Structure 1
């Protein structure tokens, strides 16, 4: 069966400078040419496997071949994509396009102008170099009726949380917000391990995934950061914020930097509040990054001048108390979190 031909009017929105659909890595589909671009290998592996599974579900007789563009024997691409005796569909996965040889580049550019019927060719380019740009430009211009699956780097905490949340959502599995943050914190430096941990929990745990489940599986690795506590409280989740605070303290966190994390986020919110300038323009004027402005605007949902001022005052008081102005720094933290999460005076 032939891989479906895709046009620039297909599903997915074309990125700036391209004429082909941009397809989410969680929703991969075949096309005569599939460009899997970007540095995040976990996402790329999922996308490539998804295309294979899609084709194999259509025809179990799918022939799968792998070649490397940086160690390429002339004629290989055309040989592997040519129809076989019985006409089975073919999938050719090409790795290392960012390091491709001249021979591969020349043959691939010719190939995308006239792809073989019934063949799907996946081009994996990490973006680590401009090598292969001529081929990428041809694909993105629409040659071969291809699609692109971008796999951008996941570096920010928010991106990792979104990734993990997506894993559980795709599996129709519920996870408590604090459990999700704890899990991401445990694997903050390795997306591959985070992905594996998500799949382990999805496969092993019956029912919802709670804080107790995360502690059981990964308690030795979990370290709730001060910013996780701050994010939870600012979002208005009072009970979850208290749990996260106690977990952070039990993991060795110090009250002083925890209050500092709150103060930093609230100051950013105060600087952004009420300003309707475009994110890039405001960020430039305030000496911030675009994403910091966008995050502060999301954090400000549900806040007003009164509640923000009260939160800043509560944080200033807690800052003095955890530095020695009071006997019980834990109570000072709890009072600050209560004011911020409920947006009401303490004990109200």
Structure 2
């Protein structure tokens, strides 16, 4: 018989300073919490750079909380003969051993001078909750850097915009939209793409520059075609569609992407429920509800109905009911982007 699922831990109000992962600062103890690994890696690297800038003789030690040898934490954090500062990076706290948990809690009572302990807890389990509660109560003089999951479209836009803001670089809104659309499924790749543009490009970053670097990825994405059409950008939608088709893209997934987004828009149209409540009721994610509500800007019940009917017709045509699937998808894009019946 499978073991019963453990209830999720209740959030504990934190009494310690909360610091952004974009501007991390060291403290005797730093808790980096949450599942977003790219943000946690940036925070850890930032702390190391901060400490190393203060003293290049910084000693860095990595410790695994799940494969822990008793006494390690105290040994690596204790002052050395020459008194160099120490940075101890502890991974896997969400699956820590009993020995680590006991020693870490004891360490909070008397943190070592000159040592910075970074504890990484992904939140994947309630393991280590006693330690986290102690840190958040103020024991050990700690700070917390939260790295929550980036799931919503708006969160990804904020993340990418923050990359350019942190570098004091300007990126045009259409360029930012194109970049985020190209890497919508992988935050690590999105971060790398932002950093490449920041490093390689002088001056403002335009949509043309993003297209030059990542055009193939943008233009052949079915949802990029869907997004531009639904936004009413008729010319851009046709250009994106034709580039995609010339790159060998199949009309079937393009029609499917448009139809999927139209159906989602229809499901949320006219509702005033909070996103989380509506998402739970109709079996969607709250970020999908938010995105569909933004997509509905400028649409009416009539134009949405016309577009859904056009999508159903195009779906049949690209799957064999027509001899010209390319024309079928172009007609659908025209109907959706103009929000009017074809030929009017």
After TM superposition, the score normalised by the length of structure 1 is 0.76
| 1:230 to 2:229 alignment | no
Match 1:167 to one of 160, 163, 170: 163
| RMSD across aligned positions (CA) | 3.7
For 2:62, what is the secondary structure of its paired residue?
Answer: strand
2:247 alignment partner in structure 1: 251
For 1:298, what is the secondary structure of its paired residue?
Answer: helix
How big is each residue's C-alpha offset from its partner over 1:184-206, in whole Å with a ceiling of 9 and x where there is no partner? 16xx4x65444334323321233
The structural deviation recorded for 1:61 is 4.8
Contact 1:161 1:184 in 2 (8 A): no
Contact 1:96 1:124 in 2 (8 A): yes
* Cα separation, 1, equivalents of 2:82 and 2:326: 73
2:6 alignment partner in structure 1: none
* Cα separation, 2, equivalents of 1:103 and 1:326: 68
Could you say if the C-alpha distance between residues 126 and 277 of structure 1 is closer, same or farther in structure 2, counting changes exceeding 3 Å?
closer
1:309 alignment partner in structure 2: 305
2:121 alignment partner in structure 1: 125
How big is each residue's C-alpha offset from its partner over 1:262-292, in whole Å with a ceiling of 9 and x where there is no partner? 1221122112111112333323433433333
2:269 alignment partner in structure 1: 273
Structure 2: segments with no counterpart, 5+ residues: 1-9
| 1:298 to 2:294 alignment | yes
Structure 1: segments with no counterpart, 5+ residues: 1-14
1:136 alignment partner in structure 2: 132
2:13 alignment partner in structure 1: 18
The structural deviation recorded for 1:49 is 0.9
How big is each residue's C-alpha offset from its partner over 1:109-147, in whole Å with a ceiling of 9 and x where there is no partner? 022234345543210123444443321221233323423
1:63 alignment partner in structure 2: 58
Pairing 1:191-230 to 2, within 5 Å after superposition? 191-209=187-205, 224-230=220-226
Could you say if the C-alpha distance between residues 284 and 212 of structure 1 is closer, same or farther in structure 2, counting changes exceeding 3 Å?
closer
* Cα separation, 1, equivalents of 2:52 and 2:85: 9
1:95 alignment partner in structure 2: 91
The structural deviation recorded for 1:46 is 0.7
How big is each residue's C-alpha offset from its partner over 1:46-67, in whole Å with a ceiling of 9 and x where there is no partner? 111112233444x235624213
For 2:108, what is the secondary structure of its paired residue?
Answer: helix
* Cα separation, 2, equivalents of 1:112 and 1:238: 61
After TM superposition, the score normalised by the length of structure 2 is 0.77
Pairing 1:43-58 to 2, within 5 Å after superposition? 43-57=39-53
Contact 1:24 1:150 in 2 (8 A): yes
| 1:180 to 2:179 alignment | yes
Match 2:146 to one of 143, 146, 150: 150
The structural deviation recorded for 1:100 is 3.2
The number of residues matched between the two structures is 330
